[in-house]
Structure 1
Amino acid sequence: MVFLTTARFCFAQKGRDRVLADYLRPAVFSLSMVMVHDVVDPPAASRYYAYVMLGAYAIVSRHDKALVAPDAFIRNYPVSGADVADTGYDYRIAAAFSILETGRVMLPSGYLLEAEEQKFLQLLKKEKWPQRLIDRSIAAGRKATEKVVAWSKGDGYSRLSAKLRYSPLKADSSWFPTPPAYIEAVEPHWRTIRPMLIDSASQFVPPALVGFSRDTTSTFYHLVQEVYRIGKDTGAKATAEQTVAWFWDDNPFAITTSGHMNIGLKKISPGGHWMDIAGNAAGVAGLDFDQTVEVQTLVAVTMMDAFISCWDEKYRSNRLRPETYINRYIDPRWHPFLQTPPFPEYTSGHSVVSTAAAEVLTYLFGPRLDYTDDAEQLFDVKPRSFHSFRDAAEEATISRMYGGIHYHDAVINGQVEGKAIGEYIVDRIKHAGIRPLSLY
């Protein structure tokens, strides 16, 4: 599937900066397609996007003094002056190539990106860049990859596999694996990953959840009934709410069954969706290469921290999914419209991550930017149009209840958590000297 990416985006004869700026969106999407192939879980996907974009940003910020060096706002980032040399190559080629190369090195099936790298080289030759300049630029891109990959090895990811395997808790209120595959809990120790901008995984604890209860007069039972009514898979034509839910599903674990076989449906993650929104917005606004790298980097590192914060809460509150409660206590034949993801319910990951990303994008682009989100078109999901990033995040937030996989307090309080993260990151990058984009 990765080989379809360049075909999605046709390049007209434009200035070289425009050609390379336009290439960034398909370059990042090619990584998303490899993650789809590998069924990379959402928190891990956000980590890959962050390091991939940081390698590119380190190169660009060294050459464009309008951009702030990464060590000015990324915690514990090595001094960026040591990344690559200053002269003898085209930094834009180096940065674009490093996106692919870092993905090739870090992703489990990164070898699939070798074909995309060759397509990129063919694009450069088509645009008549001198071969010697190309060679030097590729070498600089590889050097940036080496630096950022080396730094990534200290974030705790390699130690996750050595931690104790997660076992579901025995309490009635606790999360338990759900149909159809009953996949074990995903990334139960993600809170131990080193964040990019926030102080710690527990810095942004959301408001308290509504307590578990089987009492039919309780607030929690009311939340369950709300999901039971609106999020049921009836097998009939999708409602307007379910159309929204399907658009924002972004569940890389979704499967269908055929006899005794489980077949993966292959979808991008929430992080992949928002990375494409960022690239899409950059194109709509006509951003140049350097600005586009800046936008996608800031969105990527924001989402990595948002997932760390959200996963900290998920495995602290450890609440069961609506599907589990409803099947146990109300209707054993009930199924949600969307498949339930394999991790605890509170807070909603999409609510946290979408809201945080939208806050950063709103700071950069302003409160209104009309765009059409076609990130899922390759997966036969019709595009939807939005007037702002906050509008999109609002829809992504409520979509989780529409899909039958979250209670109302998890999406609303996830939004609170995401907004707090986003506002903190905006304040941090603002103090580092990163300013809103000049679009007009």
Structure 2
Amino acid sequence: MIKRISILFLALIGTTAYAQKSKNPILPYLHIDKAVNAISAVMIHDVVNPPAASRYYTYVTLGAYNLVCLNNKELVPIGNFIKSYTQDNQISIPADKYDYRIAAMYCILETGKQMLPSGFMLQDDEDKYVALLKENSISDDVIKQSIAAATEMAAKVIKYSKSDNYNKLSGRLRYSPIKGGKNWFPTPPMYMEAVEPNWKTIRPMFIDSASQFVPVRPTTFSTDSTSDFYKEAYAVYKVSKNMSAEQIMIANFWDCNPFAVTTSGHMMIGFKKISPGGHWMNITGIAVKKAGLSFDKSIEVTTLVAMTEMDAFISCWDEKYRSNGIRPETYINKYIDIKWVPMLQTPPFPEYPSGHAVLSNSSAGVLSYLLGDKFSYTDDSEIPYGVGPREFKSFKQAAEEASLSRFYGGIHFKDAIVNGNQQGRDVAAAVIKKLKAAGVNYLGN
């Protein structure tokens, strides 16, 4: 199994060779995307659900940010814009004894190793990273002290993570689906139970609470063929019957379903994919390389996007289990066409609002603030899964396409997308407001 993860990791990092604009290219042992992709590979193996994945991305990058911040006064300390972050980040290793950049890279891996269910798989990545450092003539003492600094910071981050209510989720009441009416109910082929029904109880990073940005109410449920809700459902059904090649490509490119299962006769075959948050983390890696950002600024952008993702899922999941909306597949099968199957597999949680819409617009908003509104790039995140690449003129254009992909895929009604877009923009605006107040400004060249 470890061999499979290593192969996947190589596939992921093999697709991220982008031209550097910087006059001082980042050294080969300081490529942040390789560490983040190693984390993604283990999460794919563990089939980590989307909200939980955003939490892991946040904490594995948080320690790296802290280490850079200790050594670069241009970075704003986390506590200046995250109200809950009040802990002491000082470490015992003297600054002149270790390389904070190496420590930051190692901290990403070490935090993931300790937090992820199959984190032990990252030991191989740590060993390879140490070998890479030696190949680049880094002294044994610097390596040793940098690892010590990374391990010490990882422990501080993990301590902070334990106070975010995640460890209380298993003790909360399980979700019981209600069959009939407007309510969400498990869908084929696995009929999985609802994912993270209590995620709203997780402590957010930037936003004040899970319910800070409650979207407008979804279209009123109705089975009347003249109602707005029926029309919403029929629109999903109709577009699925005459999909263009471009629409099919868009739906597949943004699928990002870690729960995907293919059936063949009596057999069910799981197909593991990157999560939606993982896709936007990869976009972030693409962007910081193209922008030619320094190592320090790259860590800054990567961490801020990860924390934004975490808040986006907390905000979105709060509404999902408030409205508890029925999925198109359930409604269409019962009231329009019993044999209809959506192009994409329906994810196992309520419909409203679209998670892709909220996540993509929040991530795109923060990336646009940090790197510019007209930042063009090539997104090759889905090449390992046989789709893409795709060209985008801006992060917001990508967010719009990601949102619409859920309509083409047959798993969301239009109002979940439109209102999810707004919810995502609201989250981004709240994040940007706090970043501005703390003095974190545009980082593009």
2:77 corresponds to? 69
Say whether the 8 Å CA contact 1:277–1:375 is kept in structure 2: yes
Given that 1:59 and 1:83 are in contact with CA atoms closer than 8 Å, whether structure 2 keeps it comes out as no
Give the 5 Å matches for 1:346-365. 346-365=352-371
String of CA shifts for 1:188-226, please: whole Å, max 9, x gaps. Answer: 000000001100000000111100001111111110010
Q: How far, CA to CA, are the matches of 1:218 and 1:438 in structure 2?
A: 48
SS in 2 for 1:343: coil
Q: CA deviation at 1:10?
A: 7.0
5 Å-filtered alignment, 1:326-341, equals: 326-341=332-347
Match of 2:253 in 1: 247
Q: How does 1:311-326 map onto structure 2 within 5 Å?
A: 311-326=317-332
Matched residues, number? 436
- Residues 1:434 and 2:422 are matched in the alignment: no
SS at 1:18's partner residue?
coil
Does 1:181 find its partner at 2:190?
Answer: yes
> Aligned partners of 1:81 and 1:177: how far apart in 2?
44
Residue of structure 2 in register with 1:132 after alignment: 141
CA contact (8 A) 2:18 2:290 kept: no
Over the matched positions of the two proteins, sequence identity in percent amounts to 53
- Answering whether residue 123 of structure 2 is matched by residue 110 of structure 1, we say no
Matched residue SS, 2:174: coil
Q: Distance in 1 between matches of 2:18 and 2:352?
A: 43
Asked whether the equivalents of residues 204 and 421 of structure 1 are also in contact (C-alpha less than 8 Å), the reply is yes
8 Å CA contact 1:299–1:361 kept in 2: the answer is yes
SS class of match (2:430): helix
- Once the two structures are overlaid, the 10-residue window that deviates more, 76-85 or 261-270, is 76-85
Deviations 1:270-309 (A, max 9, x none): 0000000001100111111101100110000000000000
Q: CA RMSD in A?
A: 1.9
Q: Output the CA distance in 1 between the equivalents of 2:91 and 2:49.
A: 29
1:290 corresponds to which residue? 296
Question: Which string of whole-angstrom CA distances, capped at 9 and with x for unpartnered residues, describes residues 300-346 of structure 1?
Answer: 00000000000000000001000000011111100000000000000
Secondary structure, aligned partner of 2:269: strand
| 1:103 match: secondary structure | helix
Partner of 1:166: 175
User: Whole-Å Cα distance in 2 between the matches of residues 37 and 133 of structure 1?
Assistant: 33
Instruction: Provide TM-score, normalisation by structure 1.
Output: 0.95
Q: Pick the aligned partner of 1:198 from 197, 207, 222.
A: 207
Query: Hey, what's the Cα distance between the residues in 2 that align with 1:17 and 1:382?
Result: 27
3-state SS of paired residue (1:158): helix
Q: Which amino acid aligns with 2:6?
A: F
For residues 28-427 of structure 1, the aligned pairs below 5 Å read: 28-83=36-91, 85-87=93-95, 88-231=97-240, 239-427=245-433
Q: Which residue of 2 aligns with 1:3?
A: 6
SS in 2 for 1:372: strand
1:270 and 1:427, CA in 2 relative to 1: closer, same or farther beyond 3 A?
same
Q: Which runs of 5+ in 2 are unaligned?
A: none
Please give the alpha-carbon distance, in whole angstroms, between the structure 2 residues aligned to 1:186 and 1:260: 25
* Between 237-246 and 308-317, the greater mean CA deviation after superposition: 237-246
Letter in 2 for 1:152: S
**DSSP 3-state at the match of 2:370:** helix
Bigger shift: residues 253-262 or 25-34: 253-262
Counterpart-to-counterpart distance in 1, 2:405 and 2:89: 43
- Residues 56 and 293, structure 1, Cα contact 8 Å, conserved in 2: yes
- Tell me the distance in 2 between the aligned counterparts of 1:238 and 1:116: 42
Q: Is residue 373–residue 386 contact of structure 1 (8 Å, CA) maintained in 2?
A: yes
Check the 8 A contact 2:344/2:409 in 1, yes or no: yes
Q: Give the counterpart letter for 2:177 in structure 1.
A: P
Q: Secondary structure at the match of 2:418?
A: helix
Deviates more, 1:21-30 or 1:64-73: 21-30
Match of 1:24 among 32, 36, 57: 32
**Aligned-pair CA distance for 1:163:** 1.1
Assess if the C-alpha contact under 8 Å between 1:69 and 1:80 holds in 2.
no
